Amino acid sequence: MTEVIDLGRYGDAFRTDPHPVYAALRERGPVHRVRPPGAEAEHESWLVVGYEEAREALADPRLAKDPAKLGMTFLDEEHIGKYLLSVDPPDHTRLRSLVSRAFTVRRVEQLRPRVQQITDDLLDAMLPRAGADLVESFAFPLPITVICELLGIPEMDRAEFRKISTEVVAPSSPGSEYDAVLSLAAYLTELIEDKRSGGPSDDMLSDLIRTTAEDGDRLSASELRGMAYLLLIAGHETTVNLITNGVHALLTHPGQLADLRADMGLLDGAVEEMLRWEGPVENATFRFAAEPLEIAGVPIAQGESVLVGLTAADRDPARYPDADRFDIRRDPRGHVAFGHGIHYCLGAPLARLEGRIAVRTLLERAPGLALDGPAGEWLPGMLIRGMRTLPVRW
């Protein structure tokens, strides 16, 4: 009988620092049957912790993303609509093609001056003080402003959206996720209707409403809502924690911080190492075995769920020597912080752009930047890896 590892037995230590647990599991093998913290027995899943096995699982078409294939429905999909992370080809191919028409590399690059301006404005407001919570003052408002401007979401709605969004990805109580999803569904429905009935606009959500493929295909109302939902949540929640986790890594590794300050030519590699060492997504969203298969010789029955450990894979010493060491000079290429395969993060170029501008500008304008006490509580759950607060001074 397969041993089931109850991750809840590690208590708060697993939320604060899951890496030793993943390392111990990796030493025993790349695939394990686990029960996530707080989950019932029926929610046990397979967890992939090895790098090579994770890459293969992320690209394996036998591991489906669409729960409908197994007669199930995700909470958010039920109330909001299908989106890229809840569908498989050919639906995924169609949706990604339509969204890619609006979310181009050129469009992201055109955002560079605006991202720099927002960054400077936030630091203008923050730096006259002696210290601040980096999350509240900088790491959150930068990406939420960027993605809301990109999609065309009114500024007055953004603070409320932050509360709702965090409850979706890291629920604080059993019922809070349900309420947050319903609130977000109602909000997005109204927003899309407003844009449909309004005049011409050059924001990306309006572009998605107008986008038509050569064969006349367009996004339906529920697909639009699902796409806006994914872009909003994934478009800011991950970047908040890229910035927060990355700055925290630098401030707890003063030698690395000094090296980067001395040579900003190391910046691009430093951001990639931040993504590898403490990426913002701990585990990819659930996959389901559409047919019986094996991962590293471990049999997975049809219908069973699989979690691919992105954080665990990126600390695998078989891929990255001395993997627990934060080293901005290492070659971190091939990390899976943005996933791999057809579900590779569509917004990776935007996240990298924001991360590089944010870290460079913060270090240049706050030469005395340091921690001002311990980091705040780490977010609950096994999806997002990030902390609620990060007190800093300069």
Mean pLDDT, residues 98-113 taken together: 85
pLDDT surpassing 60 at residue 61: yes
Mean pLDDT, residues 178-197 taken together: 86
Neighbours of 69 (CB within 10 A): 14
Tokens of 30: 């790349």
pLDDT in tens, 32-43: 999 999 888 778
Q: Which residues, in sequence order, are CB contacts of 370 under 8 Å at separation 6+?
A: 251, 392, 393, 394
Q: Which of 6-10, 106-110, 226-230 has the highest mean pLDDT?
A: 6-10
pLDDT in tens, 338-350: 999 999 998 999 9
Confidence of residue 363 (pLDDT cuts 50, 70, 90): very high
Tokens of 113: 């001056």
Integer Cα distance of 3 and 14 in angstroms = 19
pLDDT surpassing 60 at residue 238: yes
Say what the pLDDT of residue 164 is: 81
Domain boundaries, the chain: 4-393
Q: What is the mean pLDDT of the chain?
A: 91
DSSP 8-state class, residue 344 = S
Of 127-136, 200-209, 319-328, which range is least confident? 200-209
pLDDT surpassing 90 at residue 197: no
Say what the pLDDT of residue 73 is: 65
pLDDT surpassing 90 at residue 63: yes
Mean pLDDT, residues 223-239 taken together: 86
pLDDT surpassing 90 at residue 152: no
Confidence of residue 267 (pLDDT cuts 50, 70, 90): very high
Of 20-29, 134-143, 226-235, 316-325, which range is least confident? 226-235
Q: Is residue 263 a contact partner of residue 318, using CB atoms and an 8 Å limit?
A: no
Tokens of 367: 């030469």
The CATH-assigned architecture of domain 4-393 is Orthogonal Bundle (1.10)
CA–CA distances in Å: residue 316 to residues 37, 216, 344: 23, 46, 20
Say what the pLDDT of residue 163 is: 77
Confidence of residue 82 (pLDDT cuts 50, 70, 90): confident
